[in-house]
Amino acid sequence: MPNQPISRVRRFARPALALIAAGALVLAVAGCSIVKPGSFTVGQPGGVGSVRVHFNLCTTDTLAACGPNGSEAETLQYLVGIAVPPGSTPPASFTAVPVGGGAPITFTRNDEVAPEMAASSVAIQKLLAQAETPEEKAEAEAFRQVLGDLWPPSGLEGVGYLSTTVQEFKEQSVEWSVDADFGLPAGASGAPFAGPFNGAIAFGIRVVSGTAPESRPVRCIKLEGEVMPNESEAFCSGTTQRAQVASADLLISPPKKPAPAFVGGSGELAFSLKYASTAPATPTFALSATTSAKGGKAKANTKNFKPGTLDATTHQAPNGTSKVTVTVPKKVKPGTYSVTLNAKAPQGGVASAVGKLKVTKPKLKFGKVTLNTAKGTATLKVKVPGAGKLTVTGKGVKKAKKKAKKAKTLKIKLTSSGAASATLAKTGSLKVKVKATFKPTSGISVSKKKSVVLKLR
């Protein structure tokens, strides 16, 4: 690393600005790696769903471009701060993959990194703002190019990562590529996130040694007052690069309650689909459905979903609906099963939601029997579990049928027939055994028997 930062220290008259130079000097001494200029991008490769943050790390001897490491060999740790929209779901870790040789670097989320970087960034900006003379302002602007702007930028939330140890060697030239996927945040009032998705990056370095182990707490140099930095502290930049992508989000919501279905029948679930986007084109999603019911088949009522025209203010499309019909085999055991609706964008991104299907065997329940002794008939109450047809038969009684449009109690009139009528008329009493059979609109039939005594007085 050239001695340019040291010469700047000598030229500064104000102690505060001299500390800024000292901060740059710390970077020179601690090791020379940077976020490659122009490498930070934000994209949504799947067309919907997670956003991918990409950047490259590289060795340098100028702080402005990739190149051979200009400092002496040292063991280091890298710090990365990524600013994203509040509520985004960050990855627990990511890997910096070497480009053209070298060892990979693993970064793990660290809750100390983001607040330390933010505090360091605030201190840096305060010091830069103290420049008064034209010469000082010019020097402050030069350092701003290295130290960056405020991090995280207004409206964004910082997430910090700390690397495993990295061995840097003098004159070594290495570059790493990083891809980290962040889940989209929720939109306002539970709506899908319309975008755009903004991001910003900050970078830091700290030395690892016998007296400064990698397990120590993270502390970034604050450059406050006239106190010189401690060598165990990390040099942390502010925002050095920003990017954004016009993102899209599809929010699928399942029914609030489990949909009913009988064994051997079918059930229907209505999913709501909400789409929002700031992207220039609206995709058509391919719909598919699955169920955890063994042998069951789930099918969406339409093959595709095309969101309607986006609102110019909210960037949201009118809500859509997709109904999924699930066919339940006769061998499936009663229980609650999952039903998943998937919507796949042309680029490969998938949005999905899981609903519930409650499978039961249809059951009949007999209620009170009311006798009409003047006519020798009886009224039997039968509670049916859903839509379907109830048929009551038995030796000595006329066949009776009734339909139900939903679960309810049906009243069936029992009337003697044939020789049984003569017996009833002669003895005034007739015991009959009836069989009630219910055939659901969708599902297997169920039967139940009951003895009834008809009386005629």
Given 216, 245, 274, the domain boundary residue is 245
Would the pLDDT of 280 be above 80? yes
Residue of 241, 248, 326 whose CA lies nearest to 280? 248
Q: Same domain for 280 and 373?
A: no
Taking only the tens place, the pLDDT of each residue in 255-268 is 999 999 999 999 99
User: Which pair of structure tokens corresponds to residue 230?
Assistant: 């401690």
Q: What is the pTM of this model?
A: 0.84
Measured CA to CA, the distance from residue 420 to residue 418 in angstroms comes to: 5
Mean pLDDT of 192-217: 95
Instruction: Let me know: does 264 contact 233? Beta carbons within 8 Å.
Output: no
Taking only the tens place, the pLDDT of each residue in 289-309 is 999 999 999 999 999 999 999
Residue of 206, 233, 253, 252 whose CA lies nearest to 78? 206
Taking only the tens place, the pLDDT of each residue in 385-417 is 999 999 999 999 999 999 999 999 999 999 999
Q: Same domain for 197 and 70?
A: yes
Q: Same domain for 16 and 124?
A: yes
Q: Same domain for 179 and 284?
A: no
User: Which pair of structure tokens corresponds to residue 13?
Assistant: 């008259």
The predicted pLDDT at position 227 comes to 57
The predicted pLDDT at position 13 comes to 43
The predicted pLDDT at position 228 comes to 59
Would the pLDDT of 230 be above 90? no
Q: Same domain for 203 and 224?
A: yes
Q: Same domain for 195 and 329?
A: no
Given 210, 245, 280, the domain boundary residue is 245
Residue 348 sits in a domain of what CATH number?
2.60.40.10
Would the pLDDT of 274 be above 90? yes
Q: Same domain for 291 and 409?
A: no
Mean pLDDT of 139-150: 82
Taking only the tens place, the pLDDT of each residue in 66-101 is 888 877 778 999 999 999 999 999 999 999 999 988
Mean pLDDT of 128-138: 83
Cβ-Cβ contacts under 8 Å for 10 (sequence gap 6 or more): none
Instruction: Let me know: does 198 contact 85? Beta carbons within 8 Å.
Output: yes
Q: Same domain for 431 and 297?
A: no
Average pLDDT, the chain: 90
For the chain, what is the domain count?
A: 3
At 226, the pLDDT band (50, 70, 90 cuts) reads low
Measured CA to CA, the distance from residue 55 to residue 176 in angstroms comes to: 9
Q: Same domain for 299 and 386?
A: no
Residue 409 sits in a domain of what CATH number?
2.60.40.2550
Given 245, 264, 285, the domain boundary residue is 245
Instruction: Let me know: does 85 contact 286? Beta carbons within 8 Å.
Output: no
Instruction: Let me know: does 41 contact 243? Beta carbons within 8 Å.
Output: yes
Q: Same domain for 265 and 300?
A: yes
Q: Put the strands of the sheet holding 446-455 in their side by side order.
A: 400-404, 388-394, 429-440, 446-455
Give me the residue label for tokens 């700047």. 8
User: In the 3-class helix/strand/coil scheme, how is the chain assigned residue by residue?
Assistant: CCCHHHHHHHHCCCHHHHHHHHHHHHHHHHCCEEECCCCCEEECCCCCCCEEEEEEEEECCCCCCCCCCCCCCEEEEEEEEEEECCCCECCCEEEEEECCCCCCEEEEECCCHHHHHHHHHHHHHHHHCCCCCHHHHHHHHHHHHHHCECCCCCCCEEEEEEECCEEECCCCCCEEEEEEEEECCCCHHHCCCCCCEEEEEEEEEEECCCCCCCCCCCCECCCCCCCCCCCCCEEECCECEEEEECCEEEEEECCCCCEEEECCCEEEEEEEEEEEECCCCCCCEEEEEEECCCCCEEEECCCEECCCCCCCCCCECCCEEEEEEEECCCCCCCEEEEEEEEEECCCCCEEEEEEEEEEECCCCEEEEEEEECCCCEEEEEEEECCCEEEEEEECCECCEEEEECCCEEEEEEECECCHHHHHHHHHCEEEEEEEEEEEECCCCCEEEEEEEEEECC
Range of the domain at 391: 365-455
Instruction: Let me know: does 412 contact 436? Beta carbons within 8 Å.
Output: yes
More confident residue, 290 or 130: 290
Q: Same domain for 235 and 189?
A: yes
Would the pLDDT of 16 be above 60? no
More confident residue, 143 or 34: 34
The predicted pLDDT at position 229 comes to 65
In whole angstroms, how far apart are CA 157 and each of 83, 151, 199, 281, 347? 5, 9, 9, 28, 28
Q: Same domain for 233 and 286?
A: no
Measured CA to CA, the distance from residue 342 to residue 322 in angstroms comes to: 11
